Amino acid sequence: MNLDVRLPMGLLFAIIGIILLVHGFTADQAIYDNHSLGININARWGGVILAFGAFMLFLSRKKKS
């Protein structure tokens, strides 16, 4: 197959990670106090997901033969 699954997967998780990061830094702190024990889980986990997506994109790059 000519489509490397890591390319769409990396792209998807990079986009989701960026969305969560942006939301994490712009949303009211109150939503974290009410839900995630006061932890800004969107920003923290968004960063992890963005890193995972970027790593997948790195692995999917075409190697020069």
Partner 1 sequence: MQIPNLVLATAASAAPSGGSSSILLKLATVDYAILAIYFAFVIGIGWVLKRYLKTSSDYFESGRSLPAWICALGFIGANLGAQEVMGMAASGAKYGISTSHFYWIGAIPAMVFVGIFMMPFYYGSKARSVPEYLKLRFDEKTRTFNALTFAVMTVFSSGISMHALALLLNATLSSSIPWLNYHVCIAFSGIIVLVYIYTGGLTSAIYNEVIQFFLIVLGFAPLVYLGLKDVGGWDGMMTKLGLYSNAQGMPGAWSHSWAHMGSATSNPMGVEWFGLAMGLGFVLSFGYWCTDFLVIQRAMAAKDMNSARRTPIIAAIPKMLFPALVILPGMIAIALVQQGGDSINLPTTPGGETDFNMVVPALLAKYFPTGMLGLGLTALMASFMSGMAGNVTAFNTVWTYDLYHNHINPKATDSDLVRMGRLTTVVGLLISAGAAYTAREFNNIMDMLQLVFGFVNAPLFAAFLLGMFWRRSTGHGAFYGLLTGTVSAMIFHGLTLPAAGTATGIKGGWIGVQHTFTSSMAQNFWMAIFAFVGCFIATVIISLATKANKTDDELRGLVYSLTPKTKDESAAWYARPATLGAIVLACTVVLNVIFW
Cβ pair 53, 15 in contact under 8 A: yes
Name the phi and psi angles at 15, rounded to 5: -65, -45
Cα–Cα distance measured from residue 29 to residue 24, given in angstroms and rounded to the nearest whole number: 9
The residue (of 1 and 64) whose beta carbon lies closer to partner 1 is 1
Q: Does residue 44 sit in helix, strand or coil? A: helix
**Nearest distance from C-beta of residue 22 to partner 1, angstroms:** 9
* Total site size for partner 1, rule CB under 8 A: 30
- Which spans of this chain sit near partner 1 (rule: CB under 8 A)? 1-3, 5, 8-9, 11-13, 15-16, 19-20, 23-24, 27, 31-32, 34-37, 39, 41-42, 45-46, 48-49, 52
